[in-house]
Structure 1
Amino acid sequence: MAAGNGVEELAWSPGSAPRPPPGLEAKLGSLVLLLFLPLAFGLAPLCCFRQPPSSADAGSPVVLSLVSCFAGGVFLATCLLDLLPDYLSSISAALEGLRITLQFPLPEFILAMGFFLVLVLEQVALAQQEPSSPCSSSSSVPEESRALLPPGSIQSASPPPGAGARGAVRAGLLVLALALHAVLEGLALGLQEAEGAVLRVCLALLLHKCAVAFSLALKLLRGRLRPPAVAACLLLFAMMSPLGVGLGTVVAAGAGPRQRLCRGVLEGLAAGTFLYITFLEILPQELGVPQHRVPKVILLLAGFALVTAILFIKI
């Protein structure tokens, strides 16, 4: 037995193949789900609408809005009860391992930087796609078209003649902003070690990404993009979270103190992303619409309660 253990230890020495990351099977399953389910939801409008949908007949906004509120509750609970405690514990252990004593609140600062990173990138991208003149934008945008898309991303349902190229650029910038979101969201999943944590983060991301993919497809179709271009944008968007999962898994495999510090920093940035999506993207847009306030609050609490129950019973 001793010799066998010695051989096993040599097999996992630094010069040999790396040890499989914790929760690898759950991460691989989550990666597949995060790729194909949002892609399927995004391609659904291409199959449902023979013509680009107008703002008056687009999809099922009430269902999307309610799903978004449920996803907001899941995001909030996942961030406050799962990601934040793990992040603070991880970065504290990494700083202690490196014997670094701080007078500055570095963990909280990293969290804020994750929040501002997404805020700045998204606002710069959205500023580039806004109409150049106030008269070219719609003054009354239907409430349902705002669901699950970043603030300021909604344009007029009937673009003026000659705006096709500009609309394509704006659509590309919108997809880029959402793709940056998706990479950081996937990073949060890839950095998790426990299988239960991986599944909880995967649930939150699936709810959010599927609804966003459906809304994004409607948005691109209203912008008069051709179906092949819409499908390419959706494929790019769907691939970003799996990319983040892969990057996070590679970083989480590191065992040295510096690798643990790097992982802690990335966890903080990812947790800041969850805060941004919850408090600046989902809740203001959904709760700011006067219709269905009580069902939205109930579903928000239900999403929070679901993650709380999962954490309580240690699934």
Structure 2
Amino acid sequence: MEYLLQVKICALFGLLLLTLFFGFIPARVKWFRHTDGTETHRTVLSLISCFAGGVFLAACLLDIVPDYLSDINSVLDSRKLETNFPLPEFIMAAGFFTVLILERMVLNCREARGTPHDSERAPLIRDGRNGHDHVHGSSAGADLESSGHHVHVDFQAHSPFRSFMLFLSLSLHSVFEGLAIGLQNTDSKVLEICIAILVHKSIIVFSLSVKLVQSAIRPLWLAAYIGVFATMSPLGIAVGISVMEAELEAGTLIQSILEGLAAGTFIYITFLEILPHELNSPGKQLLKVLFILLGFSIMAALTFLG
């Protein structure tokens, strides 16, 4: 077996094991799953969630969207396709509206069937300060609607559907990250990209796991999500190796379109699910912003360092 192929296979297993390790920390540690603790405990969980929000914001603006725009523009240039219509941005918008329409359809069907979903609408924390009520339980929706208090909450915060779409968009992006490793033709470049993805993905999978835990997904499904997500980059590496070995074209146009749809999905989840939930909940607003900036800054620094 040639050395380059050995390096790629080592990268494949390294990504798999490290992603599983960091992904199962929030999933297996009871502290992350406990939501009825002290005020300090809830505050720390909220700040961790804010940090994750900053990580996802940076991943969206500094990684996923730029990678997609670079790839799609390269494909369009190589095929000599010129148009005044902003096609790359339109594809992202299609991904955005796909998630929006699917989510509204799911909620509409549940309302038509009379399926209760107050547990998804209920804020996570009871807080009577400044006239803001944050309560647990299925009666939260009715209590909030009947009260005269002014309430700032995201009623779809931590919905399992949005968590699934977050998982889906990140998984698709991970396949393309792995594909970038598998398609390299020098071992130094493989190691360079692999190290960058290892650091980047460890933070991403930890943040994803925190969000999945907060969505109250069943432990078996949570383990399945993390397991599948961990296999995405290795799958991309395996596909890239196969393409290189078979000397086939990679189908770059289809890949770029899928990247664009994933980018649009991620934009929706980042700006309509992750950030609004924490920022619309009262208490320690400046500290929350600082932790969002901290998560963003760490990812920005990693991106800057290459």
Identify the TM-score tier after normalising by the shorter chain. Answer: 0.5 to 0.7
Cα distance in 2, alignment partners of residues 35 and 158 from structure 1: 37
The amino acid of 1:212's aligned partner reads K
Change (3 A) 1:71 1:61: same
Cα distance in 1, alignment partners of residues 33 and 64 from structure 2: 37
Shift of 1:100: 1.9
Farther off after superposition, 194-203 or 281-290:
194-203
**Is contact 1:68-1:207 (8 Å) kept?**
no
Structure-to-structure mapping, 1:147-296, within 5 angstroms = 156-157=137-138, 175=160, 178-192=163-177, 193=180, 194-195=193-194, 197-199=196-198, 201-216=200-215, 219=216, 230-246=218-234, 248-249=236-237, 254=243, 259-296=251-288
**Is contact 1:175-1:233 (8 Å) kept?**
no
Give 5+ residue unaligned stretches, structure 2. Answer: 127-134, 141-158, 181-192
Shift of 1:42: 2.6
Cα distance in 2, alignment partners of residues 213 and 141 from structure 1: 17
Change (3 A) 1:294 1:31: same
Partner of 1:143, secondary structure, is coil
Cα distance in 1, alignment partners of residues 210 and 288 from structure 2: 15
* Aligned counterpart, 2:52: 71
Cα distance in 2, alignment partners of residues 27 and 157 from structure 1: 44
Farther off after superposition, 128-137 or 32-41:
128-137
Out of 27, 30, 39, the position equivalent to 2:15 is 30
* Aligned counterpart, 1:313: 305
Shift of 1:285: 0.7
The amino acid of 1:275's aligned partner reads I
**Is contact 1:75-1:204 (8 Å) kept?**
no
Change (3 A) 1:35 1:248: same
Partner of 1:110, secondary structure, is helix
Change (3 A) 1:198 1:57: same
Change (3 A) 1:301 1:76: same
The amino acid of 1:195's aligned partner reads C
Shift of 1:263: 1.9
Out of 95, 102, 111, the position equivalent to 2:76 is 95
Partner of 1:285, secondary structure, is helix
Change (3 A) 1:246 1:187: farther
* Aligned counterpart, 2:156: none
Cα distance in 2, alignment partners of residues 140 and 71 from structure 1: 21
* Aligned counterpart, 2:292: 300
Q: Please list the CA deviations of residues 200-239 of structure 1 after superposition, one character each: whole Å capped at 9, or x if unmatched.
A: 54144223222123223xx35xxxxxxxxx3322223223
Out of 88, 103, 107, the position equivalent to 1:122 is 103
* Aligned counterpart, 1:106: 87
The amino acid of 1:181's aligned partner reads L
Identity %: 33
Change (3 A) 1:140 1:203: closer
Shift of 1:131: 8.8
**Is contact 2:26-2:33 (8 Å) kept?**
no
Shift of 1:59: 10
Shift of 1:284: 0.6
Shift of 1:270: 2.2
Partner of 2:251, secondary structure, is helix
**Is contact 1:23-1:198 (8 Å) kept?**
no
Change (3 A) 1:277 1:207: farther
Cα distance in 2, alignment partners of residues 140 and 123 from structure 1: 14
**Is contact 1:27-1:190 (8 Å) kept?**
no
Partner of 2:303, secondary structure, is helix
Aligned residues: 261
**Is contact 2:96-2:268 (8 Å) kept?**
yes
* Aligned counterpart, 1:151: none
- Name the TM-score, length of structure 1 as normaliser: 0.66
Shift of 1:251: 5.9
The amino acid of 2:44's aligned partner reads V
- Name the TM-score, length of structure 2 as normaliser: 0.68
The amino acid of 1:213's aligned partner reads L
Shift of 1:156: 3.8
**Is contact 1:180-1:240 (8 Å) kept?**
no
**Is contact 2:68-2:256 (8 Å) kept?**
yes
**Is contact 1:252-1:263 (8 Å) kept?**
no
Give 5+ residue unaligned stretches, structure 1. Answer: 1-7, 12-18, 146-153, 160-173, 221-229
Partner of 1:291, secondary structure, is coil
